[in-house]
Structure 1
Amino acid sequence: MKFGICQELFVDWDWEKQCDLIAEIGYTGIELAPFAFAERPSDISAEQRAFLRKTAEDRGLQIFGLHWLLAKTEGLHLTTADAAVRKKTADYLVELGELCADLGGDLMVFGSPFQRNVEEGMSREQAYENAAEVFRNCLPAIGERGVRICMEPLTTKETDFVNTCAEALELIDMVGADNFVLHQDVKAMLGAETESIPELIHKYDTRTGHFHVNDSNLLGPGMGETDYHPIFKALKESRYDGWISVEVFDYKPGCEFIARESFRYMKEVWESV
């Protein structure tokens, strides 16, 4: 299995130090948050992109994708009634797709809860159509670079747009692009779904392109109450061959401890199921 980690956890570390530790622990992949490197992807030069990629690859790591795509941006939104903003958002996603491919990645996780919330008075149907328009306008160009967008359901505590795997698939099917797939996140599934996580893994096994691991306490796998044995067993049974990527939101235990403990637990569980 391919274990990766979301690097914004190492918020104050330089890139070489991040890569050194991530590789030393045993991870083989890194998932980038673009805001950790620049305000806009266009601000990251070709030379910087080459440096980021080579630094990772020299340590046996692949930068496999991006997430937090619209975090810390202004004037971008997925479901807005403003057609000009929707166009800017699609154009921005194309910029991110170029960055992702230049870094060696092939997936982008669309979470960004604040930039997808439904505007007051807008119908559910219109919100879905507006979002579908954005994705229809960016996915062809992104696909030309070999990059997919993975739609991430989030809980109602975070957003009111796309809260379940079924709702994500509704949007994905509206768009109808081969490079638009489902993303599954353990914390989100724990907080938003009525079916168990193993059931959801099996139910959507042919549609899932990426998988985040964490816990409802916002820490990493093995650092909360969630038992990963049935989750990893289901991933094995479903023949999932993508990345399993650690994404945490509570950094208080320290980035190195979180990274090490998450990897230790995942490796132990994966080998036992």
Structure 2
Amino acid sequence: MIGLAICNELFENWEFERVCDTVKALGYDGLEIAPFTLAPRISAVGLAERNRLARVMTDRGLRCVGLHWLLAKTEGFGLTHPDPSIRRATADYLIELAEATGDLGGSLMVLGSPKQRDLAPGVTYEQGVAYLIEAIEHLLPTLERRGVDLCLEPLAPAETNFLNTCAQTVAILERLGHPERVKLHLDVKAQSSETEADVPTLIGRYAKFAGHFHANDVNLRGPGMGEVDFKPILAALVASGYDRFVSVEVFDFSPGAEETARISIQTLKDARDAAIRSPTIAS
């Protein structure tokens, strides 16, 4: 069954234990972590601290989903930068993140980080694809050894000029040829910007490639806090056979962390349970 999780950056400046206690009490199954909430660079979080954080989650019956916002709030990185030394440093840092993901008990990494993947002036789309594939191939042995999936996230043109649609991202996945470790990431806000189809239809077409899913509203708040109807979205996910996590990821924290987390999980539970009771056929 689809598990429900939430991203920890919503709980700004909270102690990690308090975050986990609150998330568990609200009924979430897992916690997804933004590395910048732990340290400016993940290398600053030693193995002992990673193990402690993993125990805090486990002791409360929470699963660590993995990491997202992989390169956010860092300097000097660029996945498609024309300078090969910068690209290699970025790929090496992704290896550090994969190691941390495994140490924390997580099983996936979401590669969003729009600004750190933007095509620099003079870099063509095809060059960007080649650079991204080069970085992922450098990362693959660590993903295999740690049992971690890398999920590539299409994002809206307003956020990045590289990888804006599910179709573009799946084309890269097919070129890579490692579906067991490199997958598609689906996100309601991002998919809402696509012109190919609406969100439930996109899920029906692409969920077979998906390793993870983010739930949010186009107004940047959580499920149930805007105009997006999550019933057909969860119905499409259930019908597709998707059985991994759906994580709440929001960008507008103004309603407050607990209120956002409470409304979001209730909305998702209601939609998921309704879909399970009355399944539909994915398109």
TM-score higher than 0.5 here?
yes
Aligned to 2:207: 205
2:260 to 233, 255, 258: 258
Contact 1:156 1:192 (C-alpha < 8 Å) held by counterparts: no
- Residue 269 of structure 1 and its aligned partner are, at CA, apart by 1.6
- Residue 202 of structure 1 and its aligned partner are, at CA, apart by 1.3
CA distance in 2, matches of 1:104, 1:81: 34
CA distance in 2, matches of 1:164, 1:93: 23
Aligned to 1:229: 231
CA distance in 2, matches of 1:174, 1:270: 33
1:213-235 CA distances to partner (integer Å, 9 max, x unpaired)? 00100000111101111111111
Aligned to 1:216: 218
- Could you tell me the TM-score, scaled by structure 1's length? 0.98
Per the alignment, in what secondary structure is the counterpart of residue 73 of structure 1? coil
CA distance in 2, matches of 1:271, 1:38: 37
- Residue 44 of structure 1 and its aligned partner are, at CA, apart by 0.7
CA distance in 2, matches of 1:220, 1:168: 25
- Residue 23 of structure 1 and its aligned partner are, at CA, apart by 0.2
Across the aligned residues of Structure 1 and Structure 2, the Cα RMSD in angstroms comes to: 0.9
Contact 1:69 1:108 (C-alpha < 8 Å) held by counterparts: yes
Tell whether 2:67 aligns with 1:66: yes
- One-letter code aligned to 2:262: R
Contact 1:31 1:65 (C-alpha < 8 Å) held by counterparts: yes
CA distance in 2, matches of 1:81, 1:150: 23
CA distance in 2, matches of 1:137, 1:13: 35
CA distance in 1, matches of 2:182, 2:120: 24
- Could you tell me the TM-score, scaled by structure 2's length? 0.94
Aligned to 2:167: 166
- Residue 167 of structure 1 and its aligned partner are, at CA, apart by 0.7
CA distance in 1, matches of 2:6, 2:20: 11
> After TM superposition, where is structure 1 displaced by more than 3 Å over at least 4 residues in a row?
none
CA distance in 2, matches of 1:157, 1:256: 29
CA distance in 1, matches of 2:189, 2:243: 20
Per the alignment, in what secondary structure is the counterpart of residue 207 of structure 2? coil
> How many aligned positions are there?
273
- Structure 1 vs Structure 2: percent identity of aligned residues? 46
Tell whether 2:170 aligns with 1:187: no
CA distance in 1, matches of 2:152, 2:146: 18
Contact 1:215 1:225 (C-alpha < 8 Å) held by counterparts: yes
CA distance in 1, matches of 2:197, 2:241: 20
1:19-60 CA distances to partner (integer Å, 9 max, x unpaired)? 000000000100000010112111111111111011111111
Aligned to 1:143: 144
Contact 1:217 1:224 (C-alpha < 8 Å) held by counterparts: yes
CA distance in 2, matches of 1:120, 1:58: 48
- Residue 89 of structure 1 and its aligned partner are, at CA, apart by 0.8
Aligned to 1:241: 243
- Residue 192 of structure 1 and its aligned partner are, at CA, apart by 2.6
Per the alignment, in what secondary structure is the counterpart of residue 28 of structure 2? coil
CA distance in 1, matches of 2:167, 2:153: 11
Tell whether 2:48 aligns with 1:47: yes
- One-letter code aligned to 1:146: G
Aligned to 1:97: 98
Name stretches of at least 5 consecutive residues in structure 1 with no aligned partner. none
Tell whether 2:22 aligns with 1:21: yes
CA distance in 2, matches of 1:206, 1:272: 22
- One-letter code aligned to 2:130: E
Aligned to 1:11: 12
CA distance in 2, matches of 1:253, 1:76: 33
CA distance in 2, matches of 1:97, 1:121: 30
